[in-house]
Amino acid sequence: AIGEIISEAKVSSSTEPLLLSAVKGEKVERPPVWLMRQAGRYMKSYQLICEKYPSFRERSENVDLVVEISLQPWKVFKPDGVILFSDILTPLPGMNIPFDIVKGKGPIIYDPLRTAEDVSKVREFVPEEFVPYVGEALTTLRAEVKNEAAVLGFVGAPFTLASYVVEGGSSKHFSKIKRMAFSQPEVLHALLQKFMTSMAQYIKYQADHGAQAVQIFDSWATELSPADFEEFSLPYLKQIVDSVKSTHPNLPLILYASGSGGLLERLSLTGVDVVSLDWTVDMAEGRRRLGADVAVQGNVDPGVLFGSKDFITKRINDTVNKAGNHKHILNLGHGIVVGTPEENVAHFFEVAKGIRY
C-alpha cells in the first residue's frame, strides 16, 4: 500500500508537460504527440491569414501573428508540443544575410555566399537585438498553454543553414556547397563556425524566454557522406549541444535530419536528448541502433495522413508498439504536407491521445 501511495504521489506531483516527462524517461501513460510543421498551409485558418498577410516574413516576424499562428493547431488538436511559428532562416537578416520566402519558389537568398570575403561579412547573431519578437512570442505562448503542453523552440543546424546561404535557396544536388566544401573547406568551416556560435546563443535565448525544449533541424546533413558529415556537421552540432548543456543542463534538445537512416549512430554522438527519425528506418531498429539513453521521436510517413482513418490508426499503433513504452514522442518523419485533410489530422491526434501503455 505504501508503494501505491508513493507511486501515486509521484504521478500527481508531476505538473510538467507530458512531453518533458517522456523525454526524461519517466513513466507516462501514453506517448506525447505533436507534428512537425503543424502550423501551416494544410490549415484553412492559416490560409485565411496568408490572404490577409501575403508576406511570410511579416507573418513570422510580427508577435501577434506569430502567436496566433502557433496557437492555431493548439486550439484545434491540443498537441503535447506547441512549436513556435517561425523559420530556420529567420535569424539570417540579423547576420547580414537578407532572405525571403516566395510563394511557389521557396526560400531565396538574394546574395548567396561563395567566397571568403562573403563569409567575412556575416555577423554574429544577437537575438535580443534582431528577433525580440521571438522572445516575446515564446513568453506569450508559455502563458497561453500553461503546463498543458510544452512550448517548443527550434533552430537550423550550421550545415543546413550553410546549404541555403551558399546555394541561394533550396537545392537538388547541393553542388555549390559541395564545391565550397571540397575545394575551399576553410571557407565553409569559417561559415559553419559563425552559425555554430550564433545558433547556440539563439537556443539559449529561446530557452530563457519560454521554450521548454528546442529542436535542431539539420534537414540536409544527410546529403553528406558519413565521413563528410563527421567533418562538416557533427563537430558543430556537438559544440552547440555542449555549449547549451553548459548553461542550460536541463533543456531537452531534439535533433532531426531527413533521410537519416545511414547516420543514426552518428546523430546520437552529438549528445542530444532526442533523435527524430524519418520513415526510411524501422522504429524498432532505430531504437536498437540508438541505444537506451536516447529518446526517439517521429517515424510516421507524412503520406499516411492521406490514407483512410483505419490505416492511420493502424500506423500509429505500429509505431507506438515498435517504439516501446517509454522515451517516445509520436510525430511524423518530416513536416506535414500541404493538402493533408484536416479531418485526418484530427483523427491522428484523437487516436494518439487515446493510447494507453
Question: Interface residues with ligand CP3 (CB under 6 A)?
Answer: 36-41, 56, 83, 85-89, 101, 106-107, 154, 170, 217, 219, 258, 335
Q: What is the DSSP letter of 337?
A: P
339, three cell numbers? 493538402
We find the least distance from the C-beta atom of residue 56 to ligand CP3, in angstroms, to be 4
Residue whose grid cell is 547549451: 244
CB of 164 to ligand CP3, least distance (A): 7
Smallest gap from residue 27 Cβ to ligand CP3 (A): 28
Q: At closest approach, how far in Å is the CB of 254 from ligand CP3? A: 11
From the CB of residue 136, how many other CB atoms can be counted at a distance below 10 Å? 16
Q: How far is the CB of 166 from ligand CP3 (least distance, A)?
A: 14
User: What 8-state DSSP symbol labels residue 334?
Assistant: S
d(CA 168, CA 214): 26
| Shortest distance, position 2 Cβ to ligand CP3, whole Å | 45
Query: Strands (DSSP E) along 128-238, which ranges?
Result: 150-156, 213-217
Whichever of 76 and 284 has its CB closer to ligand CP3, that residue is 76
Whether the CB-CB separation of 216 and 255 falls below 8 Å is answered with yes
- Tell me which DSSP letter residue 330 carries: B
Residue whose CB is less far from ligand CP3, 88 or 240 = 88
Kindly tell me which of 86 and 319 has the beta carbon lying closer to ligand CP3.
86
Residue number with CB closer to ligand CP3 (38 or 319): 38
3-class DSSP string for 34-103: CCCCCCCCCCHHHHHHHHHCCCHHHHHHCHHHHHHHHHHHHHHHCCCEEECCCCCCCCHHHHCCCEEEEC
CB closer to ligand CP3, 176 vs 326: 176
Nearest CB to ligand CP3, comparing residues 220 and 241: 220
- The DSSP line for 99-146 is EEEETTTEEEESS---SHHHHHTPPPP-HHHH-HHHHHHHHHHHHHHT
Nearer to ligand CP3, 41 or 353 (CB): 41
DSSP string for 236-285: HHHHHHHHHHHH-TT--EEEE-TTGGGGHHHHHTT--SEEEE-TTS-HHH
Nearer to ligand CP3, 107 or 135 (CB): 107
From the CB of 102, what's the least distance to ligand CP3, in Å?
8
CB 152, min distance to ligand CP3, A: 8
124's grid cell: 554574429
Phi, psi (rounded to 5 degrees) for 33:
-140, 135
41, burial (CB in 10 Å: exposed 0-12, middle 13-18, buried 19+)? middle
